[in-house]
Structure 1
C-alpha cells in the first residue's frame, strides 16, 4: 500500500516542473501545459519585433545626428556609442528589480511601456512642427530644445530597454526545466534560435527601414519601429498562460553585502578543515527563494568565514544573516566574482562590434553606394550582411558544427561555452584586419588619383561585405556563447543580474570606443595635424584606427586564454 502511495506521489511530482517555477496564476507550473517551445514562440516573436524596433532606430542613428542635427562625424559617432553604451548599462537596474522584487515577466511588461513612450517621442521629434529641426539648402539648424527632445526620447528608450534586455533571454531559458535532461538540451538550442530571431529583426531594420529613413523620411523611419514595439508587447502578453515564472529571490545586493559583512566580522576566526561544519540549512532547498543549494568550493576562502557558526548563533533557530550566512549564499557571491575576469575580457570584443554602427558606416559613406544607375544603398544598410551572416551561421552551428565537434571534443554541446567565446574573439580580430586592409586599398586609390576632395571614391561599397560577414560569424560564437555562459554560471536567484552583467560588456565596449576615439583624435590632431579620423576621411588614416583595434584585441585574447584556462564551472547540489 505504501509503495502504491509513493508511486502515485512520484507521478504527481512529474506533472510539475522541478525547478520551482510557477504559472501566471502563481500555481506550480505544469510540465505539459506550460513552458518549452510552446511558450518560447511568443518570447521569440516579442524579441524579433523589439529588436526590429531597436535596430530600426539605432542602425542609421549616426547619419540622423549628422544630417538633421548638424553634428560632425566624431561627435555623432561619440553620441551614438555613448547612448548605445547606456542601453547596455541600464539593464543592471532592470535586472536588479527582476531578481529582487518584480520577477522577469512583470519587469519586461513594465519597462516595455517606457520603451514605447521613448519611441513615440523620438518619432514626434522627426515629424512634428516645432520639434523637427528646420532645414534649407545650407543644411539643418536644430535648436537646443529640439535637440533636447530628441535625446530625451533616446534615453527613455535606453531606460526601457534596460528592463527588457537582461530579462527576455533569461525568461526564455526559464521555460526549460534544468532538472529535466530533455529540456536541458532544448535550452542550449534556445539561445541559438533566440539570437537568430534577434538578427531577423535586425535584417528588416538594416535593409527596409534604413532605406525608408534615407529615401522616404525619418518620420516613417522611426514611426514603423514604434509600431513594431507595440506589436512586441502584444506578442508578449498573448503567451502569458503558457509561461513559467521564477520567483524573485530578494535583493541579491543585500545578500552579497551580508556575506562580506559577516566574513569581516569573523576575520580572526579559522575556517574548519571539515567544510561540513560550515553553516547550511538542513532543508533540501536553500534559504534563498527560487535557488538550489550550491556545493562548497575551495576558492576565496576568506568568504567562508561568514559560515562559521559561533555558539550563540548555533543555538538560534533563525540566525542573523549579517552575522551568519549559508554556504549557498557564500557560493552565490563566489560565482559572481569568478565571472568578473571573463566579463572584463569580453569588453574588447564589444569595442570591435560597436564599429559596425560607427566607423564602418562612415567608411561606407566615402564609397560608391550605387546598385545600377538609379538605386543607391545607404551605407548603414550594409549591416544587413552581418545579420545575414548570423542567420547563416546560427543554424549551421546548431545542426552541423556542434554534432561534428562533439565527436572530437566529447562535450555535449560540441565546444564548452568558454571555447566557443574564444573562437569568436579570434574571428573578431580577423574582421578588424580585413576592415583595415580595405581602408588601405581605398586610401591608395585616393592618393593615386588625387580623389582627396571627392565625396565618394569610385570603389563599390560592397567591398565592405567581408568585414560585416566576419563580424557576424564572430557574434554567433562569442555573443551566443556569452549569453549561455552567464545564464548557466549564474546562481538561480541572480540570472537576470548576471545577464545584465553580460550586457554591460557591450556598454563598456561602446564607452571604450568613445574614449579610444577621443584619445586618438586628441593625440593625432596636435600641432595642426589633420588626424586619423577627420570629417574628410580621404585625408585621414582610418586604417590606423583599425590596426590599433586589431592589436588591442589580440592582446585581450591572450589574457582571455589565461583566464579561461583557470576557470572552474559552477556545481549545484541535486
Structure 2
C-alpha cells in the first residue's frame, strides 16, 4: 500500500492529472509540455470589395458579407463535432488549416490573375465581373469559411488543454492566458484594419489578399514546430450522441420515479467520469425529468451490461443540463452579435458617406476605423487582466474575479451605448443629407468620419467583457460561436427590412440586456463532483 501511494505521489508530481497526453498517447509530463509555450491564433474591407470589384449595391454588399461571416461561424459545428468526437483538436486544426490557406490563395488569385480579375470597370472604379469571375470569388470565400469552421472552435480550447486545472499555479496561468490570447488576436486585427486596409485600398486587392495568405502559411509552420510541446485531450466521443442517449433513456423511463436520495442515481464507480477528458459532475436539481435516464431499474441491474440508450451516468445527464441552461444565455448573444456585425458592414458604409479627410493630403479608408474598436480592446485587456481581475478576486474569492455571466452582462449593457451612438450619428447624417441643397450636390456630407470613433470604442469595451474567450470544450465553444452566425444572419434580415442603421438597434439591445438579467439570475453553475464544496464553476460552459 505504501509503495502504491508513493507511485501516486510521483505520478502527481511528474504528470498532469487532467487526462492530457502527448503525441504518442502517453500521459503528458508536466515539465517540458504545455503552458504558454504551446499556446498559439482580413476581411475588414470586404464590404467595399463587394461594392467596387463585384459591382453590388450597399444593402446587397452588406448582406453578402454578413451571410459569409455567418457561414464562417456556422461551419464551426462541423469542426467542433470532429474535434470532440473523432480527431481531437490538434488534428482538426491541422486539417482545416490546409483548406483555409487554399481559400486565401484562391482569393488572392481572383484579384491578380488575368481572366479572374474583372476587366469591365467604370470611371468610379466600380467593376462588372462575369458570372464565372463572381463564382470564383465566392468559392474562395467559402473555402475560407469552411477552414475557419475547423480552426476557430478548437484554437482557444486547445490552448486550454495546455494548462492543468488540478495544478493551482497552472489554473491561475490559464485564466491569464485567455485574456492575453484575446489580446494577441486583436493585435492581428489591428494590423488588418490599418495596414491591410491601406494596402487593399491604395496598392491593390491582389497584395491585400496575398499577404494574409503568406502570413497564414507562416502561422501554420509555427503551429507544427510546436508539436513536441503540446498536451492533448483524447476525443471523448460525440457529445451529440451522449445528449441523444439521455433524452431517449429519459423518455423510455418517463413513468419511473426519481429517488429522493440522488446518490442512488447511476454513476461510474471509479474516479473517472466515463467521458474522456471530463471529470465527474455533481448532481443539480434543475431539469429533474432528465434524471430519469440515470435511474437504475431492476431490468438494468439484471442486464449483463446496461445499454447507454437505457441507463446514463449523472455526469452525462449534467452535461445535457449544462447545455440546456446555456441556451437562453446563447439566445441573448444573437442580438448582441447582430449589433456587432454592423461594424464590418453598415458602419463602413456609413463611413463612406462622410468626410474621410485627415488633413489636406490624406484620407482614411472607412474600413480602417475598426482600428478604434481594436485599440479599445488592446488597451482594456491588460487593464482588465492586471488591475480589474485582481481587485475583483480579492472581493469575490474567485480565481477569475467575475463569473462569466457577470462579464457577459456588463458587455451587453455597454453594447447598448455603442449602438445608440451609431444610431445618433446616423440621425445627424440623414439630417445633413436632407439639407444637401444648402451646400451643393456632393457625394459626402460635411461630417468628419471621426464622429464614428465613439461607437467603435464603446463596442470594443463591450467585447472585452462579452466576448473574451474562456476555457470551454469545443462543442460548448461552438455554441458561443453560433451566436456570431445567427447574429450575422439576423443582421441580414434587419438590413433587408430597414437598410440603414437607426436608433432601433439601441432599443433592441436594451430589451435584450433586460432579458439577459432575468436569465442570469436563474442560471446555476455546474460543480465538479471532486470539489463538492466549491462555489460553482465560474465558466458556465466549460
Q: TM-score, normalising length from structure 2?
A: 0.94
**Structure 1 counterpart SS, 2:391:** helix
Distance verdict in 2 for CA 1:290–1:416, change over 3 Å: closer
Match of 1:186 in 2: 173
Distance in 1 between the 2:218 and 2:209 partners? 15
Match of 1:226 in 2: 213
Distance verdict in 2 for CA 1:152–1:112, change over 3 Å: same
Aligned partner of 1:68 among 39, 53, 56 = 53
Does 2:460 match 1:472? yes
Aligned partner of 1:506 among 484, 487, 490 = 484
Distance in 2 between the 1:147 and 1:269 partners? 59
Tell me the CA shift for residue 195 of structure 1: 0.8
Contact 2:436 2:445 in 1 (8 A): no
**Structure 1 counterpart SS, 2:497:** helix
Match of 1:14 in 2: 13
Aligned partner of 2:70 among 85, 88, 108 = 85
Tell me the CA shift for residue 390 of structure 1: 0.5
What do the CA deviations read for 1:44-87 (whole angstroms, capped 9, x no partner)? xxx1xxxxxxxx2x110000010011100000000000000010
**Structure 2 counterpart SS, 1:14:** helix
**Structure 2 counterpart SS, 1:287:** coil
Aligned partner of 2:474 among 467, 489, 496 = 496
Does 2:536 match 1:558? no
Does 2:130 match 1:131? no
Match of 1:51 in 2: none
Distance in 2 between the 1:250 and 1:175 partners? 20
> Following superposition of structure 1 onto structure 2, how do residues 158-557 of structure 1 map, counting pairs within 5 Å?
158-448=145-435, 450=437, 453-480=441-468, 483-484=469-470, 487=471, 495-521=473-499, 533=500, 545-557=501-513
**Structure 1 counterpart SS, 2:120:** strand
Distance in 2 between the 1:119 and 1:413 partners? 37
What do the CA deviations read for 1:543-574 (whole angstroms, capped 9, x no partner)? xx331110000000000000001111111122
Contact 1:446 1:452 in 2 (8 A): no
Contact 2:249 2:293 in 1 (8 A): yes
What do the CA deviations read for 1:195-221 (whole angstroms, capped 9, x no partner)? 111100100111001001000110000
Match of 1:105 in 2: 90
Aligned length, in residue pairs: 527
**Structure 2 counterpart SS, 1:140:** coil
**Structure 2 counterpart SS, 1:224:** helix
Distance in 1 between the 2:292 and 2:7 partners? 44
Contact 2:423 2:504 in 1 (8 A): no
**Structure 2 counterpart SS, 1:546:** coil
For the aligned residue pairs, the C-alpha RMSD in angstroms reads 1.5
Contact 2:199 2:208 in 1 (8 A): yes
Match of 2:25 in 1: 26
Distance verdict in 2 for CA 1:365–1:452, change over 3 Å: farther
Gaps of 5+ in 2: 531-542
Distance in 2 between the 1:254 and 1:407 partners? 41
Distance in 2 between the 1:270 and 1:331 partners? 18
Tell me the CA shift for residue 404 of structure 1: 2.5
Distance verdict in 2 for CA 1:112–1:452, change over 3 Å: farther
Q: TM-score, normalising length from structure 1?
A: 0.89
| Structure with the higher fraction of residues in helix conformation | 1
**Structure 2 counterpart SS, 1:21:** coil
**Structure 1 counterpart SS, 2:256:** coil
Tell me the CA shift for residue 260 of structure 1: 0.8
Moved more, 80-89 or 126-135: 126-135
Contact 1:304 1:330 in 2 (8 A): yes
Tell me the CA shift for residue 284 of structure 1: 1.2
Distance in 1 between the 2:11 and 2:242 partners? 34
Gaps of 5+ in 1: 48-55, 489-494, 522-532, 534-544
Tell me the CA shift for residue 455 of structure 1: 1.1
Contact 2:79 2:149 in 1 (8 A): yes
Distance in 2 between the 1:366 and 1:430 partners? 23
Distance in 2 between the 1:444 and 1:408 partners? 49
Contact 1:177 1:183 in 2 (8 A): yes
Match of 1:52 in 2: none
Contact 1:442 1:459 in 2 (8 A): yes
What do the CA deviations read for 1:315-363 (whole angstroms, capped 9, x no partner)? 3342111111111111111111111111111111101110100111011
Moved more, 455-464 or 240-249: 455-464
> Following superposition of structure 1 onto structure 2, how do residues 109-120 of structure 1 map, counting pairs within 5 Å?
109-120=94-105
Tell me the CA shift for residue 410 of structure 1: 4.3
Moved more, 228-237 or 446-455: 446-455
Distance in 1 between the 2:474 and 2:285 partners? 26
